[in-house]
Amino acid sequence: MRIGVIAIQGDVEEHIASFRKALGERRERGQVIRIDRKGVIPSCDAVVIPGGESTTIGRLLEREGIADEIRGSRDVPIFATCAGLVLLAKHGDEQVMRTGQPLLGLMDITVNRNAFGRQRESFEAELSLSFLDRPYNAVFIRAPAITEAGSRVEVLGTYDNLIVAARQGKMLALAFHPELTDDTRIHHYFLDII
Ligand code: GLN
């Protein structure tokens, strides 16, 4: 199994480390590699889009031709966190529209890029996620949220009445940062999807 982490900007190393840890826990052979140019996506069994600045990551994905490769890889499992969730969305909020930042537009969701406002730039919360039997301690950093979801989207978790975890087919979108905690249960859920 080969998992590619988009390595343009953001918390790339943490994602690589936590997927390697999860693969090790399952005693599964697998490679976790960086994607920083065109031509790598077709050889990957799954793609990880990290958090960071969605404007920067989105623009560079377009410029490098990686965005079109992701759009063209139908059905490739995608693990998107925070800024990655913003990029997966079909529709953005007013801020996204005004700046014209490019989105991948793969998931039937509308996002609010900075849903929790400045007062709560970062925080941790115990989430109950539909696919886990115990609460999950989630780290939110300038987190987005999903404000509308289409019929093909399965809501996996909410916080403050906002959707913060969702799945559509093999795409998993998380508003928080599972790569920043030791808990790999969400990674295992995704590895099962792959
Ligand atoms: N809200 C940020 C953005 O849209 C994402 C923050 C993050 O990834 N930690 O770029």
Spacing, Cα 86 to ligand 1 middle (Å): 8
Cα(183) to centroid(ligand 1), Å: 21
Q: What is the pLDDT of residue 119?
A: 60
> In 3D, which of 150, 89, 90, 93 has the Cα closest to residue 117?
93
Mean pLDDT score, 123-149 = 97
pLDDT tier for residue 121 given thresholds of 50, 70 and 90: confident
Specify whether 44 is catalytic. Answer: no
Distance CA 17, CA 3 (A): 12
The neighbouring-strand residues paired with 112 are: 145
Joined together, the tokens standing for residue 23 give 């693969």
- Look up the CATH number of the domain holding residue 106: 3.40.50.880
177 CA: nearest ligand 1 atom: 9
Kindly indicate the confidence band of residue 179, based on its pLDDT and cuts at 50, 70 and 90. Answer: very high
pTM of the model: 0.96
138 is in which domain, residue-wise? 2-193
Instruction: Give the total number of structural domains in the chain.
Output: 1
| pLDDT above 90 as % of the chain | 93
Which distant-in-sequence residues (6+ apart) come within 8 Å of 90 by Cβ? Answer: 103, 105, 106, 107, 108, 109, 110
3-class state of residue 125 by DSSP = strand
